[in-house]
């Protein structure tokens, strides 16, 4: 599934004074004498304010100027723009300076994983690694796997390095827009430890510099573990207007779409997230037991204090649509045909939840409430329909209780112990 995103500049804004003067200078109504007067005025203004007239540096073009993207990165100065023409570039790239990297279009410019992967600054293999305090913008391109066979060895009998992530950000910031990450998994797709993240935004250790990302108008598809993950207190990921699609039941691996955990926060809004399930026959990994198994979900977030908003998303065909801890806002989401429950709420901090204008349609149950602390759940204009399971179920198993205000009368779940 592709979303036909409209092409718009990453930083469209109102033209500044210089741009407006330039537009007047090039107007056909101005005579040469007026042009000279304008030029003199601009020069005087620049001198008066201590400015100097400097031309912006020209973009570095791949492969016209440099044969590889990494060669252009190495040659660039901080703040430069690198333009990458259409084509497939089989390489890993490392970025430690402020840069803009722009391709010729999503799926037209492709950065593909090499057959033999090298470790990055961390002891993991990624296609794109960003660190060192860099602020990087990537747009109009695709980062793509797949990686090697899980458990494969090379000619020397050593384990082949596996593909950890498509894009990994630590101690840095990434703006990723009108771009894609695809096929970040092993070949064939299999569940391998510490592999298969589309975009990973990681705080490496307590007290270390944090990481952040702004992911918008993007597509993250067919990953082996998680589409977008942000982890660590102080780290953040805003994911908006994007498609995050796991491999579904056909992939045979458990996946999660968007996951903010370990203290990470962010806004998750206006996305479509689908195909993140628990395969049959994997009870050691996932299943319906909240206390001993994992519930994989389209969106996992909350519980890290202020800073998390989940709104206007569509979660379709996942094991659980939304798995949420306490969040600033939960509103206007639509959960359709999710296998287990449309929404799972787990109270771990204040226990206060308000759901507004939520809709759960089809699939298993509607809303599953699991209090690990005493919870109050306010349901405001929530619609639940065409469900095969309970509309609202409360699972009180650890001495905490939940009060649900509004909506259907909750049923009591059965504790597994």
pLDDT of amino acid 67: 98
Number of residues written out for the chain:
417
At 56, give phi and psi (nearest 5°). -65, 145
* pLDDT tens for the chain, residues 1 to 417: 322 322 322 233 333 333 332 333 333 333 444 334 434 433 433 333 334 334 468 999 999 999 999 999 999 999 999 999 999 999 999 999 999 999 999 999 999 999 999 988 887 899 999 999 999 999 999 999 999 888 888 888 888 899 999 999 999 999 999 999 999 999 999 888 889 999 999 987 677 778 999 999 999 999 999 999 999 998 999 999 999 999 999 999 999 999 999 999 999 999 999 999 999 989 988 999 999 999 999 999 999 989 999 999 999 999 999 999 999 999 999 999 999 999 999 999 999 999 999 999 999 999 999 999 999 999 999 999 999 999 999 999 999 999 999 999 999 999 988
Instruction: State how far the Cα of 362 lies from the Cα of 242, in Å rounded to an integer.
Output: 23
Q: How far is CA 104 from the centre of its chain?
A: 21
Torsion over CA: 378, 384, 389, 391 (sign): positive
Instruction: State how far the Cα of 163 lies from the Cα of 147, in Å rounded to an integer.
Output: 5
The burial class, CB within 10 Å (0-12 / 13-18 / 19+), for 58 is exposed
Instruction: State how far the Cα of 412 lies from the Cα of 158, in Å rounded to an integer.
Output: 53
pLDDT of amino acid 26: 35
Task: Give, in degrees to the nearest 5, the angle at Cα 98 between 97 and 102.
Answer: 115
pLDDT of amino acid 56: 60
Bond from prior residue into 62 cis (ω within 30 degrees of 0): no
Cross-sheet strand order for the sheet of 219-221: 87-90, 109-112, 142-144, 180-182, 219-221, 243-245, 272-274, 314-316, 334-336, 359-361, 383-385
């Amino acid at each position: 599934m592709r979303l036909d995103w409209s092409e718009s500049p990453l930083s469209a804004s109102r033209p500044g004074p210089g741009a407006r003067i330039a537009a007047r200078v090039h107007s056909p109504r101005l005579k040469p004498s007026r042009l000279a007067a304008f030029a003199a005025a601009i020069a005087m203004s620049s001198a008066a304010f201590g400015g100097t007239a400097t031309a912006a540096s020209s973009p570095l073009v791949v492969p016209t100027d440099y044969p590889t993207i990494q060669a252009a990165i190495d040659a660039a100065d901080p703040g430069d723009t690198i333009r990458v023409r259409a084509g497939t570039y089989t390489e890993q790239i490392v970025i430690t300076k402020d840069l803009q990297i722009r391709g010729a279009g999503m799926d037209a410019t492709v950065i593909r994983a090499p057959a033999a992967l090298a470790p990055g600054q961390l002891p993991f293999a990624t296609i794109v690694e960003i660190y060192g305090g860099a602020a990087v913008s990537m747009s109009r391109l695709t980062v793509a796997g797949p990686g090697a066979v899980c458990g494969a060895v090379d000619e020397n009998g050593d384990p082949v390095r596996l593909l950890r992530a498509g894009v990994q950000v630590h101690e840095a910031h990434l703006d990723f827009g009108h771009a894609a990450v695809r096929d970040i998994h092993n070949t064939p797709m299999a569940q391998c430890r510490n592999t298969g993240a589309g975009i990973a935004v990681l705080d490496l250790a307590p007290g270390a510099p944090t990481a952040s990302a702004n992911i918008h108008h993007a597509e993250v598809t067919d990953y082996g573990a998680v589409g977008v993950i942000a982890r660590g207190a102080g780290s953040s990921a805003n994911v908006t207007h994007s498609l995050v699609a796991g491999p579904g039941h056909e992939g045979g691996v458990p996946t999660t779409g968007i996951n903010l955990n370990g203290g990470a926060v962010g806004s998750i809004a206006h996305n479509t997230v689908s195909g993140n399930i628990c395969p049959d026959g994997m009870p050691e990994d996932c299943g319906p037991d909240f206390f001993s198994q994992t519930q994989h979900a389209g969106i996992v977030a909350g519980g890290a204090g202020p800073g998390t908003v989940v709104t206007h998303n569509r979660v379709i065909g996942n094991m659980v649509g939304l798995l949420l801890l306490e969040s600033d806002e939960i509103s206007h989401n639509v959960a359709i045909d999710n296998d287990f429950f449309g929404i799972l709420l787990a109270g771990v901090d204040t226990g206060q939840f308000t759901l507004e204008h939520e809709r759960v349609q089809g699939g298993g149950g509607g809303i599953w409430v699991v209090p690990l602390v005493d919870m109050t759940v306010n349901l405001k204009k929530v619609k639940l329909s065409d469900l095969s399971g309970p509309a609202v179920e409360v699972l009180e198993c650890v001495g905490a209780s939940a009060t649900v205000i509004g909506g259907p009368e909750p049923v009591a779940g059965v504790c597994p112990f």
